[in-house]
Amino acid sequence: MKPPVVVSVTGAAGQIGYALLFRIASGQLLGPDQPVILKLLEITPALDALGGVIMELHDCAFDLLADVQASDDAQVAFADTEVALLVGSRPRGPGMERKDLLEANAAIFSVQGRALDQVASRDVRVLVVGNPANTNCLIAQRNAPSLNPRQFTAMTRLDHNRAKAQLAEKVSTHVSRVTRLCIWGNHSATQYPDITNASVDGRAAGELVDAAWVSDTFIPSVQQRGAAIIKARGASSAASAANAAIEHMRDWLSGSGGEDVVSMGVCSDGSFDTEPGLIYSFPCHTTDCEWQIEQSWSIGEESRKRMMLTQAELIEERDAVRHLLPE
């Protein structure tokens, strides 16, 4: 047996946590021959509920689950962690935008960034799911100065999967036939789901759908999909979010392979004239615990406008949390 990998999950007693932990413990994140130690973080009042989830994890008798530990202390839950999934934070309700959560959630990520800085494995890979995910990721990353900014990412994979599914449905094909589509910018209503470089069965997606459908139906419905789920379910997406978190991290650790791209919120290096340092979603290629931003795409005028609009919102969010961003 290989030595176990330490995976930390915050907000482990929440909705997404419940959809995530069993998949990690069964090998869907790290593979069928990789034992795992789960270190779970919750706030003190949720520890009893988390105890119930841990009973269920034990009751699954997973071959790969080497140990499971719960704590309300980030220094304990992140000790030696190699993979950290930062989910714990308040979800929005009907009528709210994700950035309305900044005030409630931002402080969580400065505390957790500092704890990761102090006790995590030096090779830790971090995914921020809790909203507003890009700016929370920025806060965590800036509070962890001893780690490389490249070790911090925010989740836009759910938007990527939503966009893929909607395009596939429109052209009556299977999602697996859609490639090279991406989400630019913020995980918010300003995100830009972009099909200008996408292919469906090897044909340019733009030849298969008309421009009016893209601007009037596709883009707004991907941007508003989270709100539509909240309206229908009375709670925000959970199973699809957990699935996206697994896919994001699995591709980052093991490589997504091929010509296709995956959307990831990563620290901008100025690619495509974006503002360096923002956590901005780009089309990325992943190999063996690294990501690279796709560089070859040309950007038209309409795309550029949308990319700058979502960037403006990220700058506004960053400026609102300046007090949590050490120089």
Residue nearest to ligand NAD (CB): 14
Task: State which residue, 14 or 193, has the beta carbon closest to ligand NAD.
Answer: 14
Q: What is the closest distance, in whole angstroms, from the C-beta atom of residue 44 to ligand NAD in the complex?
A: 9
What distance in Å separates the CA atoms of residue 71 and residue 47, rounded to the nearest whole number? 8
Please identify which residue in the block is written with the tokens 């990789």.
34
The set of catalytic residues is 187
Binds 229: which of ligand NAD, ligand LMR, none (CB < 5-8 Å by kind): ligand LMR
Identify which of residues 97 and 269 has a Cβ nearer to ligand LMR in the complex. 97
When asked if residue 131 is in the footprint of ligand LMR (CB under 6 A), the reply is: yes
Contact between residue 295 and residue 271 where contact means Cβ atoms under 8 Å apart: yes
Per rule CB under 6 A, count of chain residues that contact ligand LMR:
12
Distance CA 152, CA 266 (A): 7
Distance CA(131)–CA(270), nearest Å, equals 24
Q: How far is the CB of 187 from ligand LMR (least distance, A)?
A: 6
Q: Which stretch binds ligand LMR (CB under 6 A): 168-176, 189-197, 227-235, 308-316?
A: 227-235
Tally helices (H) and strands (E) across the chain: 11, 14
CA distance 134 to 195: 22
The interface partner of residue 41, options being ligand NAD, ligand LMR, none and the CB cut-off 5 to 8 Å by kind, is: ligand NAD
| 55 C-beta neighbours (distance < 10 Å), count | 9
Residue 119 belongs to what H/E stretch? helix 102-119
Q: What residues numbered 11-50 form the site for ligand LMR, per CB under 6 A?
A: none
Of residues 230 and 264, the one with the C-beta less far from ligand LMR? 230
Single out the residue of 98, 114, 157, 164 in contact with ligand LMR (rule: CB under 6 A).
98
Pairwise CA distance, residues 277 & 249, whole Å? 21
Under rule CB under 6 A, residue 229 binds ligand LMR: yes
281 lines the binding site for ligand LMR (CB under 6 A): no
Cβ closer to ligand NAD: 236 or 310? 236
Two tokens at 301? 């005028």
CA distances from 319 to 139, 185, 237, 269 (A): 11, 16, 28, 19
Binding string, 149-188, against ligand LMR, x = CB under 6 A?
---------x------------------------------
Interface residue with ligand LMR among 39, 92, 160, 318 (CB under 6 A) is 92
CB atoms within 10 A of CB 62: 17
Q: Strands 5-10, 65-71: parallel, antiparallel or unpaired by DSSP?
A: unpaired
DSSP string, 158-194: HHHHHHHHHHHHHTT--GGGEES-EEEB-SSTT-EEE
Task: Indicate whether 237 belongs to the interface with ligand LMR (CB under 6 A).
Answer: yes
CB nearer to ligand LMR: give 139 or 241: 241
In the complex, least distance from residue 210 CB atom to ligand NAD, rounded to whole angstroms: 29
Give bridge partners of residue 224 from the DSSP assignment. none
Interaction site with ligand LMR (CB under 6 A) = 91-92, 98, 131, 158, 226-227, 229-230, 236-237, 241
